[in-house]
Amino acid sequence: MKLDRRTVLMQGAAAFALTLPGTQALAATRRNRIVTPILRRKIVTRPNIHSLALNDADLQAYRDAVKAMKALPASDARNWTKQAEIHNNFCPHRNWFFLPWHRAYLVAFERICRQLSGKHDFALPYWDWTANPQLPAAFADPNFNGQPNPLFDGNRSSQTVSIAAVWAGQSVISQIDNEPTFEAFASTKPASSGGAQPWRNPATEGLLESSPHDHVHTSISGDMGTFMSPLDPIFWLHHCNIDRIWDRWNRNGHANTTDTSWLDMTFTNHFVNAQGNPYTTKVSNNLNIGLLGYRYPPQFRIPPWYLALAVNFSKIPPVEKINPGALRIREPVAAAVRLNTEQIQRFDRLRSIKIAPRPTGAPPTGAAPVAPAAPVTRATSRVIAFIRDVPPPAKGNADVRVFVNMPNANAETPATDPHYAGGFTFFGTGQHGGHDHGTHSYMIDLTPALIALKEQPTDKIDLKLVAVPIAGVSSEGFEVKPGSIEIAIF
């Protein structure tokens, strides 16, 4: 059998099989694949950055690694800018390769950090922007211990930026945690599998990508607003949290797609191993984080009955007052969409979506305290708006909020309004990604808003799209102009 150097380095489990001959080696390899990762390789727990003191050993190892990577010559593939170029050149966004590609990218990066910091059990921290929306202190200060802080990035919109609850708050995350459909959770399958970079063909962003993922990027802005975003050391902690939410979704019993065009997609030489050599991996080798050598602290999902209560009583989180300031956001567009058979037919592939029946009655005993039990609205169907082919702002960036059946919504209508259904922003429209001047497509689940409004879905739903500025980011002259809006009832 042949094991190439890359396989051995990146999947250390099989390493000692090389010294054994013939069938014995094969058997050992097989055994090792199952047993070794558990017995021989320590599985590290990726920590919450907010649980770490400023002088914590993992945090210091991260500073050391970033500093070392910034000091490496550009001829070394582990060089800091080279690492960001991997993202710019290969990252899939707005399709279902988004999650596995970024998982593999983080695993490779974490191993480089171990190598360069010398801390061999280093685990990449995650930033839980739902529980702690403010940029972690360790990243915000230009200096640490009287030295330049390697985790600081002076290009951010501000060093005290806080991620708004409307994009990443608990009710948004609960809705994502409880999303039953892989493609609505994880972004959709590209229509085409051809082209030079088939893993990058555009599709429609799912809820995890369009809400918290994109908005953390664009709220921080600067490097984070572009495909060179890994230049900002917070990038890696942001994606660690996205990865954690995916793992939690799986652990809570939600299955990934079994489509072989997803499982077999191979990212050939996209990544770099700890020694600076190319590393190839495929989607199906990135679905079990224990085998990749890490885990997250135990995670719990907000149960569906709580979500149903939340939809009724507190779906819309408090959000800071919107201040359109002096920025010029033009009159928003309104779209009245009438469903017809043809539009519904177009969603055949997704029509198997069924909303999980929501249990009624009292919460289980011993559960976290919630609002008093009350009649729960049972959703019999889902209503999802597909907002397609939206051209991003020519310069700067903006958020877009989507209101249901509220024709007079405007930039000052708060997201706490019950007519608010969700929103999106434009990540990766940056100066760097030469290939990426295309339009963006999103899906917004209108169901919770329709339930909260006690409005039954009918054959006519009005959507109003309102552009609002992002604090500290220009959005000069931006108008929202989707190519089309389609509404599907499942």
* Beta strand ranges found along 399-448 (DSSP E): 399-404, 420-425, 440-445
Question: Minimum Å distance from CB 213 to ligand C2O?
Answer: 6
Looking at the Cβ atoms of 229 and 273, the one nearer to ligand C2O is: 229
Identified binder of ligand C2O from the candidate list 78, 114, 217, 270, rule CB under 6 A: 217
Looking at the Cβ atoms of 89 and 439, the one nearer to ligand C2O is: 89
**270 CB-near residues (< 8 Å, 6+ apart):** 86, 90, 101, 104, 105, 279, 280
Size of the site for ligand C2O (CB under 6 A): 8
Looking at the Cβ atoms of 217 and 419, the one nearer to ligand C2O is: 217
Identified binder of ligand C2O from the candidate list 46, 78, 93, 103, rule CB under 6 A: 93
CB atoms within 10 A of CB 331: 10
Q: Report the residue number whose CB is nearest to ligand C2O.
A: 91
How far lies 341's CA from each of 253, 463, 468, in Å? 34, 19, 34
Question: Minimum Å distance from CB 156 to ligand C2O?
Answer: 15
For 206-224, letters b (16+ CB in 10 Å) and e give bbbbbbbbbbbbbbbbbbb
- Which range touches ligand C2O (CB under 6 A), out of 85-93, 177-185, 417-425, 459-467? 85-93
How far lies 359's CA from each of 75, 185, 316, 381, in Å? 58, 22, 21, 15
Does 215 sit near ligand C2O (CB under 6 A)?
no
Does 464 sit near ligand C2O (CB under 6 A)?
no
Tokens of 466: 């309102």
DSSP assigned state of 419: T
* Binding residues for ligand C2O restricted to 238-277, rule: CB under 6 A: 239
Does 91 sit near ligand C2O (CB under 6 A)?
yes
Looking at the Cβ atoms of 167 and 420, the one nearer to ligand C2O is: 167
Tokens of 293: 């050598």
Question: Minimum Å distance from CB 400 to ligand C2O?
Answer: 18
* Binding residues for ligand C2O restricted to 130-159, rule: CB under 6 A: none
Looking at the Cβ atoms of 11 and 281, the one nearer to ligand C2O is: 281
- Contact by Cβ (8 Å): 316, 171: yes
Looking at the Cβ atoms of 420 and 427, the one nearer to ligand C2O is: 427
Identified binder of ligand C2O from the candidate list 46, 111, 156, 213, rule CB under 6 A: 213
What's the burial of 417, exposed, middle or buried (CB within 10 Å: 0-12/13-18/19+)? Answer: middle
Does 229 sit near ligand C2O (CB under 6 A)?
yes
Tokens of 416: 């706490």
Question: Minimum Å distance from CB 424 to ligand C2O?
Answer: 14
CA-based nearest residue to 33, from 64, 1, 81 = 1
Looking at the Cβ atoms of 304 and 428, the one nearer to ligand C2O is: 428
Looking at the Cβ atoms of 232 and 486, the one nearer to ligand C2O is: 232
- Which range touches ligand C2O (CB under 6 A), out of 55-63, 75-83, 86-94, 411-419? 86-94
| Angstrom distance (rounded) from CA 65 to CA 126 | 16
Strand duo 294-295 + 44-45: pairing: parallel
- Contact by Cβ (8 Å): 456, 307: no
Question: Minimum Å distance from CB 436 to ligand C2O?
Answer: 11
Site string for ligand C2O, 166-205 (x = CB under 6 A): ----------------------------------------
How far lies 360's CA from each of 37, 161, 175, 252, 346, in Å? 43, 40, 18, 20, 33
Looking at the Cβ atoms of 382 and 440, the one nearer to ligand C2O is: 440
Looking at the Cβ atoms of 215 and 248, the one nearer to ligand C2O is: 215
| Maximum CA extent, the chain | 75
Does 103 sit near ligand C2O (CB under 6 A)?
no
The strand pairing partners of 466, in sequence order, are 401
Residues near ligand C2O, by CB under 6 A: 87, 91, 93, 102, 213, 217, 229, 239
